[in-house]
Amino acid sequence: AGSANRTFLSICSAEGGMDIEEVARTNPDAVAKVPVSAVDGVDRAKAREIALAGKLPEAAVEGAAELIERLWAVFVDEDATLVEVNPLILTSDGRVVALDGKVTLDGNAGFRRDRAAFVDASAGDPLEAKAAAKDLNYVKLDGSVGIIGNVFGGITSCDAVADGIVAAYELLADRGEPVDRRIVVRLDGNAAERGRAILREAALPGVEQVLTMDAAAARAARLAAAEV
């Protein structure tokens, strides 16, 4: 996973298995967390450092280091956000073998690769799949959820955001899919007044503007409660 200081994090432990999360909670010293530079990556020396930090048996260090190097290659080459092997075993004849693994791919990198063969449509939420087919990011949550658009204009100016909201309404209307939900929007920062004016002039059905994030959250909660 990435972190705020632009490094990745490698986690290694000799206490693998299904209960590794419990081990991390009850015995954090048994779980090594080794930063990995995005520039330098993982070579054999770094991989060996990770294996040793995880307190793997001496007989497993070299085999594990080779595997860790390969995991890094998969992580980079496949635009992954997570590459995990658990459990990793040392056989009686000295081989290090990965018994199970998990890979999470970065959806934002999908345009670079054909990943159709890796997609199991039956495993996902049908609404999320429908949104993805229309190049929309959507995450289904439990309960009645109000949409809060909270934008502080910095790199992206608020008038550009407002134009985007108007364009989205027009696009959906052209498709015969008009928005039928209430949307609470709070704009602040760069070109906020212009952005608010754009939304006022557009008079989009269901769009409400508020001045603070607290007001936006309160209004969205009231709207959600009214629909229950």
| Cα gap 113→137, rounded to integer Å | 18
CATH of the domain at 184: 3.40.50.261
My answer on whether 175 and 150 are in the same domain is: yes
| Cα gap 107→129, rounded to integer Å | 13
94's torsion region: left (phi>0), alpha (psi -120 to 50) or beta? Answer: left
My answer on whether 143 and 97 are in the same domain is: no
My answer on whether 138 and 197 are in the same domain is: yes
My answer on whether 97 and 183 are in the same domain is: no
Write down how long the chain is.
228
- Total domains, the chain: 2
My answer on whether 13 and 106 are in the same domain is: yes
The residue range of the domain holding 203 is 126-227
Chain segment 102-124, per-residue pLDDT in tens = 888 887 787 787 777 776 666 66
My answer on whether 12 and 107 are in the same domain is: yes
Residue 117 in any domain: the answer is no
Domain boundary among 78, 111, 144: 111
My answer on whether 91 and 155 are in the same domain is: no
CB-CB contact of 177 with 212 (8 Å): no
The confidence score (pLDDT) of residue 56 equals 94
My answer on whether 146 and 104 are in the same domain is: no
pTM for this model (two decimals):
0.57
CB-CB contact of 42 with 10 (8 Å): yes
My answer on whether 133 and 220 are in the same domain is: yes
Residue 82 in any domain: the answer is yes
Chain segment 181-211, per-residue pLDDT in tens = 888 898 888 888 999 999 999 999 989 999 8
pLDDT band of residue 126 (cuts 50, 70, 90) is confident
Residues in Cβ contact with 205 at an 8 Å cutoff, skipping those fewer than 6 apart:
178, 179
CB-CB contact of 41 with 80 (8 Å): no
My answer on whether 16 and 69 are in the same domain is: yes
| Cα gap 207→216, rounded to integer Å | 12
